Amino acid sequence: MLLRQRRIISHLNLYIIVNLKLTKAAFLLLLTLFCAHYAQAQSVNKSRFGKGLQFIAADSSFSLKFSTRFQTLYQTIKSEGSDDWNDRMMIRRARLKFDGFVYSPKIEYKIELGLSNRDIGSDNLDQFNNADNIILDAVAKWQMTPTLALWAGQTKLPGNRERVVSSQKLQLVDRSLLNSEFNLDRDIGLQLHNEHQIGGVVLREIGAVSMGEGRDVTSVNEGGYGYTARVEVLPFGNFESEGDYVGGDLAREETPKLSLAASYDFNDNATRSRGQLGSFLSGQRDLRTWFVDAMFKYEGFSAMAEYADRKAADASPVVSYDGNSVDETFVTGEAFNVQAGYLLQSNWEVAGRYTTFDPTNVTGINNEKQYTFGLSKYIVGHSLKVQGDATLIREQNRADSYMFRLQMEVAL
């Protein structure tokens, strides 16, 4: 009897040890699958490929949609005058998404977690409480009137169009150089979204007040707040399937559709080199950022253009200079990006992009131009696709370089 008890205790200890070794991400996935299995017996299942697992409670008091996606990327770069190709393969993005409504269909929520090293990596550990920064979105959305909605929590700011377009729905392998240098990314705060119509013209106005330091910063706010506003005009009405925020014309618009927009962001006493992004600097600056962008689609053809301008208001963007080079600086200047593509009936798409980045001279950052040609095969829309592109990179004071990328997207 005693021997049997010891064996039971030993098995229990082994079970506990093994379970403790589960990663947080694996545990979360197991929990989600269990909830989905339980919900299937208790609610209406509306699942299909590319739309995640969708459930509505039997009493319609809440809904849950769970989806997951990942991107596998191969990239290689070679500089002129060099025989070496520097290549790598990685999981570019890996995400878990949860959304639905609670209590009433007028109150929606969204939670998105990033699990890849590129999603969570950070050099600013003190500002993030020495923890992995896995929370991308955690936001509640209250539809107060048929046209006006209040958002509260952490999500993308209403900045440039390319940033608001999901990384799942990009026309090329990744976003442009303009976006990487000037985008506002995510922040935590309040947003007001209004949409109304005058005749056949759709108008949207968005305003946001946020902490100004980016996503999930746990330290005390060192600077001021961020204030963002955006106005959109759709002169020919709404796009099919919200296509003004989808790369490529997969809906094959039957009539021409156009969206024109402008955004402005004022970051009071910004502490990070790119406003809501970048390294934390020892000094502060007021940053003013303008975006103007447009999206056009018609019968498989699509085109998007963006312009960005950022300045440090009434001050130099340079924070620290060691006498020979810039040690700390805010990223300011201007950038322009234009891209276009055509979707064939076979669901192959050819696309091209041209991007310029002109930083403020005193920052010591080099001017850069990029020329990109891309080819995509949409197997199940943006949920299952393979994309490749080739880019010529011309950076000031450096030899030209060539970059080739191949990426697969799988989204359930």
DSSP string covering 337-394: EEEEEEE-TTSEEEEEEEEEEEE-GGG-PPPEEEEEEEEEEEEETBTEEEEEEEEEEE
Helix (H) or strand (E) holding 213: none
Q: What is the block-wise mean pLDDT of the chain (412 residues), using blocks of 10 residues? A: 45 41 49 51 64 89 94 96 91 96 96 91 66 90 97 97 97 97 96 96 98 86 91 98 97 98 97 93 95 98 98 92 88 98 97 98 95 98 97 95 98 94
Indicate whether this model's pTM tops 0.75: yes
Contacts of 158 (CB under 8 A, 6+ apart): 164, 191, 206, 208, 228, 229, 230, 263
Contacts of 240 (CB under 8 A, 6+ apart): 251, 253, 257
Looking at 299-344, which runs of residues are DSSP E strands? 301-312, 318-321, 326-329, 333-343
Here the tokens at position 378 are: 């949409």
pLDDT value of residue 141: 98
Residues 330 and 274 sit within 8 Å (Cβ to Cβ): yes
pLDDT value of residue 11: 46
Q: Tell me the CATH class for 61-411.
A: mainly beta
Sequence spans of domains, the chain: 1-45, 61-411
Q: Smallest Cα–Cα separation from 61: which of 109, 105, 103?
A: 103
pLDDT value of residue 45: 60
pLDDT value of residue 22: 40
Contacts of 405 (CB under 8 A, 6+ apart): 73, 74, 75, 173, 174, 388, 389, 390, 391
pLDDT value of residue 324: 82
Q: Smallest Cα–Cα separation from 116: which of 95, 137, 101, 135?
A: 95
pLDDT value of residue 130: 63
Looking at 211-325, which runs of residues are DSSP E strands? 226-234, 257-272, 280-298, 301-312, 318-321
Q: What is the pLDDT of residues 111-131, one digit of tens each?
A: 999 999 888 866 666 676 666
Q: What is the DSSP letter of 250?
A: T
